[in-house]
Amino acid sequence: MRTQVAIIGSGPSGLMLGQLLTNAGIDNIILDRVDRDYILGRIRAGVLEQGMVDLMDRTGAGARMHKEGLPHDGFSLSFSGRMTRIDMNKLTGGKRVMVYGQTELTADLMDHRAATGGVTIYNASGVTPHDFDGDSPYVTYEKDGVTHRIDCDLIAGCDGFHGVCRASVQDKGVQNFEKVYPFGWLGLLADVPPVHHELIYANHERGFALCSQRSKERSRYYVQVPLSDEVEGWSDDAFWDELRARLPADVAEKVVTGPSIEKSIAPLRSFVAEPLRFGRLFLVGDAAHIVPPTGAKGLNLAASDVHYLFEGLQEFYSDKKWSGLDVYSERALRRIWKAERFSWSMTMLMHRFPDEGAFGQKVQESELDYLSSSTAAQTAMAENYVGLPY
Ligand code: RFL
Ligand code: PHB
């Protein structure tokens, strides 16, 4: 088999890149080690920046997102029993975010790919990129007991944090930057109306909590938990009690509870690999970087990577020039580090860090107090939350 761009990974990064390439007449094949249902069973992001919404429109798969997605003009921070609303729309001169689940967005991209004749090979095991240092890279994989080979011009590593692409460059000068946080998020998805029409990020002495949503009938809630906790140890009732205990009383009494559809614990991590290019192999999305979910930036960063890489690929195929691909890593990393900084700072602001002691706690409280009264501080938070320009 031969294609122009071999894409490893059929998450949002791989699917968005594949669709932009297909739309531009550039041949591509996507490989994933699991199948469609497995990918759609992963409950992840919910908040889309305008840049991500625009990119979905460019893929041609954005129609349902506009119909069912919920535009949000603001969100609230709760601490010391009071709420501060960050009016994103007013503070950024009219910008907003869109609440639309990653599961739905991924399904839309998969359906559009199938409808436009894109090739995806699911359940491909042992996927391996080869010879990307030279001029003739190829990818091998196994399916149904047979080894296959795809020759290509370039390889896009869109295979997430535990993928094979970054693992393949560990001895090629890649530098890893990492910070691991001493807690995780226990998330619960339920078909109950959200407690509030906007998101609430709560800093409470019992730990962080987040009230999010997927639609007017489906809520997504999170609470900070120690890394030693296991999801089996959390009944639905225990989750609802803990969530309510961390919210201001007038909000807590409005929480509508119900049986969980999904419940899971995710560890929190900041991670960046540099550079993002190794000859003819390019790292994209979670394969290259991870942010703690507090700033809602992971999926949105995948979108900006795809944007920069697609520009380079378009130039490569239409003008036979490497210049866009040559600057991909540098351009993407500048935006990645700003999102890393924001996600880290929002994580440090909103969680409880028992090891930081009383001084750390006082500094956090004073930063929250400053935020509640300073338009400048709120503007900086709003500007980052809606997403910095590409
Ligand atoms: P993905 O989605 O992990 O997809 C990678 C794909 O690659 C496949 N794969 C392989 N295929 C072949 N061979 C191999 N060896 C392979 N290894 C892996 C996998 O099966 C998979 O299908 O990466 P991608 O596409 O870069 O997308 C990144 C996003 O999924 C991620 O950044 C976000 O979900 C992060 N995130 C959030 N981002 C936001 O922008 N806003 C949010 O509100 C937000 N909330 C979240 C989040 C992530 C969370 N978790 C659980 C990590 C909330 C949570 C709880
Ligand atoms: C979510 O809805 O899953 C979500 C929303 C905002 C975040 C993180 C996760 O910051």
Q: What is the mean pLDDT of each run of 10 residues along the chain (390 residues)?
A: 98 98 98 96 90 98 97 97 96 97 96 98 98 97 97 98 97 96 97 98 97 96 97 98 98 98 96 98 98 97 98 97 98 98 98 91 95 97 97
Residue keyed to tokens 């503007």: 379
The pLDDT, as a whole number, for residue 44 is: 86
C-alpha span between 239 and 186 (Å, rounded)? 9
The pLDDT, as a whole number, for residue 355 is: 86
Out of 44, 180, 186, 223, mutate this one to test ligand 1's pocket (max ligand atoms within 8 Å of CB): namely 44
- Looking at 3.30.9.10, 3.40.50.300, 3.50.50.60, 1.20.120.790, the CATH number of the domain 182-267+352-386 comes to 3.30.9.10
CB atoms within 10 A of CB 236: 14
Residues with CB under 6 A from ligand 1: 8-14, 31-34, 39, 44-47, 102, 127, 158-160, 162-164, 185, 187, 266, 285-286, 293, 296-300, 302
Q: How is the chain split into domains, by residue range?
A: 5-70+98-178+269-346, 182-267+352-386
Coil, helix or strand for 109?
Answer: helix
Does ligand 2 come within 6 angstroms of the Cβ of 293? yes
CATH code of the domain made up of 5-70+98-178+269-346: 3.50.50.60
In the chain, how many H helices and how many E strands?
Answer: 14, 20
**Cα dihedral angle (313, 317, 323, 328), rounded to 10 degrees?**
10
Asked if residues 7 and 164 have their Cβ atoms less than 8 Å apart, the reply is no
Residues 6+ apart with CB under 8 A from 308: 328, 331, 332, 390
User: Out of 112, 293, 317, 328, which one is annotated catalytic?
Assistant: 293
User: Out of 72, 112, 196, 204, which one is annotated catalytic?
Assistant: 72
Question: What does pTM read for this prediction?
Answer: 0.96
C-alpha span between 164 and 171 (Å, rounded)? 13
The pLDDT, as a whole number, for residue 354 is: 82
C-alpha span between 299 and 47 (Å, rounded)? 8
